Structure 1
Amino acid sequence: MLWFLLVCFVPAFVISTTMTIVIRRCAPQWGLVDHPAARKVHVTPTPLGGGLAIYLGMLLPLIAAQLIVLLIQQNALPASWIPEEFRIHLAGMLHRSPQLWGLLAAGTVLVLMGLLDDRFGLSWKWRLGVQFFVAISLVSTGMSASLFVSQPWVGQVVSVLWIVALINSLNFLDNMDGLSAGIGLIASVMFASIMLTLVGEPRWLVGGCLVILAGSLSGFLIHNWPPANIFMGDAGSTFIGLMLSSLTILGTFYDETMPQRHVMLAPLCILAIPLYDLCSVILIRLKEGRSPFQPDKKHFSHRLEALGLSKKHAVMTVHFATLTTGIGALLLYQVEDWQGAFLVVSLVLCVLVIVSILEMAPRPSSKEE
């Protein structure tokens, strides 16, 4: 297991770290610079395009892995390159690789759209349309959750909405240094832990992709941690959302060896904070008669800063809130009935209530400060 984790994590980390440095230097020449504005928290022009480094940090290791597996299957490389316990899974990995490359092709579309949006600014309607097109295309290839419902279209509709929601959720969270990348890292580690250790049979392909994503995000986060010297931009946040949403669909959180189906709630627990932030911000904007995609400072992180926390502490608070609900997801695999699952879900809801209270708390006046 340790060998597998290192092989997945380290190359992605190195590629992402290196490419972030390169892109940071080239971004001004490409016109990828985020300038300060009323609805933004940074005060100096900052390079964009870090999402391209995250994308390459995931793409290049997967290309290398695919080539190695193909060469081993064709006896062009010795099978001893792969530990014996993994060799029996090579055929299965090759069988599912078209689905994986379809996902990466969809990710490429979002990265390119994100770079165009970062450079020129695109209409939110056009971006949302492309997101739905990508989601529907993936679901039409068979990437759909069953949800234990006899009618396949129910799972397909939910899968499309899940993908689009996660794409926008991670995009909305990209409002402070290190926030979206950190949430993506926590979520990918949590999902990988479930895929590799808590299900009946380890899901090596999906789990490996999640570890690669974690490595790529870690490499970028070194440069994006407050105070950031580069932003991921829409190219990065939408790509992360697509990967997390699609890999959770490809992965199976339940199998016949498990006593109950409540473990299907795990993704909702892990991503409770991002999804809550998405829903609350959209409702606030609609209530105020504004577009749900019009940027503002209504996010949970902005409210924490308004209460007096530094940007770094606000980001860390959101991170640990996400980590708390993620641990709840892991606990779902330790309880055997719906009564235990209810307690775990209650814990997650309590965290969301705390978040809601903090959001509604009045901003301290200058005298109180």
Structure 2
Amino acid sequence: MRPLRLILSVALLIFAAAQALAQTKPDNDYLVYVVSESADKIALIRFGPNGARVDHQLETGDMPVDIDGPHGIVISPDRKFYYISIAHGRPFGLVWKYSTKDDSVLGKTTLGYFPATMDITPDGQFIFVVNFNLHGDMVPSSVSVVSTLTMTEVARIQTCTMPHGSRLNPQGTKQYSACMMDDMLVEIDTRTLKVARHFIVTQGKEMGMIGAPKKNVAEAMASMPGMNRSVKDSGGHGMELPKPGDTSCQPTWAQPSTDGSSIYVACNKSSEIVEVNADTWRVVRRIPARQGVYNLAVTHDGTRLLATNKRDQSVSIYDLKSGKELARLPTKRKVLHGVVVSPDDLYAFVTVEGVGAEPGTVEIIDLKALKTVATVDVGQEAAGIDFYKIESAK
């Protein structure tokens, strides 16, 4: 009897393992685009029943002896086009328009200093790009608005110092970004193309205000006790530990909820996520986060929030109702960057920059099992990422 029981036990274990493996592999192929900032490359990642792989990749930029630095990427709602920000510039950066059909360049336009993250309106007519100005003076920068039809910059809206994390609400009526060096969340009205409101997110100094930040607000923020806005602080782009007595948030991302009622702000320095009510323009709560929380994404059903933790080498998944961390998933390499969720909420795709000569990585998370199920290497310093489509497996 014992040998029979042993055989049955082994068979059950093998069956359970096979079932678990089957659950982590989708029936269809999931495709995402990712840019690698230090390699000047765009890659299309394919994840399906046969695992994850680079479907194809191409070079971008036009500087023959220097790095152009593709940083952000967004795909049009009709999936016919994608846009990338070329951050490094000469000295101004650009945004390029590509066809998803054959990856041909369809247009480009010059923006401000170090254009970084961007988002597109629901009708696909305009993209909003933050001019992060990573290597420039600590002065207020701007958000560029680009017509996707003509590929011309139709507005450049001054906001505050080092804006990052450009995201629109689902209605397409408001654009949000976070200014790292002014501890500020900024809201732009997409109809008037003007700053509607701004909000100081520093703990103990929270304040929501109507209109654009005053010209002297940067100096006022710099003079606050515990605030440090030195150029040295911005050099690691979210990797610096807070100094003793530093109470600053140093926000790196602004993510609206699926209904637009809340905005979640990633406080990279103080390692917390601040929820601001879009109606009352007040802080709802502060969710403790892992070290160096950086980019955010919400599931399409509105129940969970994903966060990349730049200093913690991990990804966190939160239950939005309770604010509880459901899972912390370590990553293969260091320096976390972006995250995007598939339309069916089954998978999340995360970019990891890597260090030195290491390749960048795309890590794929099963959002039901709450575990990493695949990784694929891409070019150095994997940065912006966006979901393309789901199609039949190849």
Which bin holds the TM-score, normalised by the shorter protein? under 0.3
Q: Which has the higher contact order (CA 8 A, sep 6+)?
A: 1
TM-score norm. by structure 1 comes to 0.26
More strand by share: 2
More helix by share: 1
TM-score norm. by structure 2 comes to 0.25
